[in-house]
Homo-oligomer: A and B are copies of this chain.
């Protein structure tokens, strides 16, 4: 570990950039944060991620790492000292990566569709979100029957960061879309979100509620 390395995070408020921010803070790695304006992307962002032109980008000694899940893997590998984000056991790692991918491909996508639709299309999108969360709940219970995969001892884990950064904002999502979710239909998921939200490291780092609601409404 190079104590003098320069670490810069290009991100936006209320996005998966927060995953990277939390992982760096958890590992105790000093970094500079640059807020990007996605309507007027910086030359540095376009140069650093010419393929997807998206945040987050982590610049480590000037070299860009892209895609939030891959950045978390990089942080874990480069700063391999404790606290660990991932367990050692290859099988458990494979299941954690599986559910992180599922969360991004299915749950986050379904959430996005609810925000982007109205009327009957939105009702349909909401039903899909409930269903994806149900698959997620079932899978997490099946794969981690005895120990929460969202925490690593007292710290947040890889999956805790991945899921928590968006799940903890469910109240902003409800306010932005004008409807309270039926807690009964995804009771486990909401209990996990509340548990993650209550963790000091998460609660201290959540975006301001009103600002997030306003962003979700645009």
Contacts and interface: CB of A to CB of B under 8 A. Distances in A.
A118 interface: no
Contacts of A97: 70, 73
Interface string A66-88: 11001101100110000000000
Contacts of A94: 65, 70-71, 73-74
A93 B80 CA distance: 14
B66 A98 contact: yes
Given A65-B91, A78-B90, A91-B65, A70 B101 contact: yes
A101 B67 contact: yes
Contacts of A38: none
A63 interface: yes
Contacts of A77: 90, 93
Nearest to A74: B94
A15 B123 CA distance: 36
B135 A98 contact: no
Nearest to A77: B90
Contact of A93 (B67, B74, B102, B135): B74
A51 interface: yes
